[in-house]
Amino acid sequence: MLVELCWTLERSYRLSQQDIAAVIHAVLDNSTVKLESPAAVRDALAHFTKGSIGFPDCLIVAKAQHQGCRHTLTFDRRMASLPDVEVL
């Protein structure tokens, strides 16, 4: 749900990174919404607000780390700035 939400906010509504981060914060703080892995979402949000990587990519890496993966492999060179990401 969060990935699609971010994509829609960015592409359809042209929201800034800061505004998208505020929406994600609001979802995290909403007691009526239950997320699959809120700790991973928080970590992803921290990386998202510090750089130029999209939230979905940050979430992929954060979820992998929370599942015990030591590295995330990708073809996306932009993701190389995220921790424990290796570009193939």
> Among all chains, which residue has been given the structure tokens 């990935």?
3
Q: Please report the pLDDT score of residue 40 as a whole number.
A: 97
Rounded CA gap, 38 and 80, in Å? Answer: 23
Structure tokens at 7: 């994509």
Buried b (16+ CB within 10 A) or exposed e, 12-31: eeebebeebbebbeebeeee
Q: Please report the pLDDT score of residue 51 as a whole number.
A: 85
Specify whether the CB–CB gap between 72 and 80 falls below 8 A. Answer: no
3-state SS, residue 42: helix
Instruction: Report the chain (88 residues): mean pLDDT per 10 consecutive residues.
Output: 95 96 97 96 96 94 96 94 94
